[in-house]
Amino acid sequence: MTYPNAPARPPRATLVVTAHAGDFVWRAGGAIALAAARGEKVTIACLTFGERGESAKAWREGRNLEEIKGIRREEAEKAAAVLGAGIRFFDAGDHPLVATAELTDRLVALYRETQPDVVLTHPAEDPYNGDHPAAHRMALQARNLAQAIGYPGPGGIIGAPPVFCFEPHQPEMSGFRPEVLLDITEVWETKRRAMECLGAQQHLWDYYTDLAVRRGVQLKRNAGTDLGLAHRTTAEAYMRPFPQITKELG
């Protein structure tokens, strides 16, 4: 007897719901690369290109809206390919990203199509960027609707895949507490290469490298100090909105 969301059976499908084109790389690139390296299928739902709120450099260079969308799309596609994931663009308009019934319904359809065993998305709070909480709310509501046999639309209902919320840019201001530390050392180089696909945000490459090292130090401290772990452990932090289910504590 196994659960679809317990470690005993490896997850085979992961759905990542993000607000802007770059989010999946900085915040969950390690988790995506690990899943892909295990042969699993990962689908990224990019609700917007981050064309207004996360593309200041391009605007300063005089690009127009469509050009910027094109640049961000291309960068995101490259990064997804490096990580080994598929990507879908919803082009819902950012800054602000507005939650609508129609957009949520498109997410329900994607849940039912991909039948995820694991869901990754933004956490509930971010005082610096309202698009992130909006994506969180839609990701959770769509998951809930996709479970209901009475909700119309194509595809079969889904189970109850565990949800992991990735780290926001300013964790302490967003009520973020690392509840899970994921060791991404084995795929670190892949994540770094994916980050380097995002030319529009080059200043963040080292920033998120430092963060990965810092989370790695935290992982080592929480794992005990003399464990023979690689000197340069890297990690990503996640929160769980729902309880972990397991047959063994550890």
Residues 125-164 that bind a copy of itself (CB under 8 A): 127-130, 140-141, 144-145, 147-151, 158-162, 164
Nearest by Cα to 183 from 126, 237, 146: 237
Containing H/E element for 196? helix 188-196
Partners of 89 in beta bridges: 46
- Among 18-26, 29-37, 77-85, 194-202, the segment contacting a copy of itself (CB under 8 A): 29-37
By CB under 8 A, residue 24 contacts a copy of itself: no
- 3-class SS at 108? helix
Select from 44, 48, 75, 183 the one that contacts a copy of itself (CB under 8 A).
183
- 3-class SS at 118? strand
- Among 27-35, 73-81, 82-90, 190-198, the segment contacting a copy of itself (CB under 8 A): 27-35
By CB under 8 A, residue 37 contacts a copy of itself: no
**What are the tokens at 143?**
């998951």
- Of 60-99, which residues contact a copy of itself (CB under 8 A)? 60, 65, 68, 95-96, 98
Cα 210 from chain centroid (whole Å): 19
Select from 70, 86, 155, 171 the one that contacts a copy of itself (CB under 8 A).
171
Nearest by Cα to 94 from 114, 65, 116, 126: 65
Partners of 43 in beta bridges: 15, 86
Select from 39, 102, 154, 248 the one that contacts a copy of itself (CB under 8 A).
248
CB of 23 to a copy of itself, least distance (A): 16
CB of 209 to a copy of itself, least distance (A): 10
Number of residues that bind a copy of itself (CB under 8 A): 93
- 3-class SS at 215? helix
Residue position matching structure tokens 């759905």: 15
- Among 16-24, 74-82, 192-200, 241-249, the segment contacting a copy of itself (CB under 8 A): 241-249
- 3-class SS at 173? helix
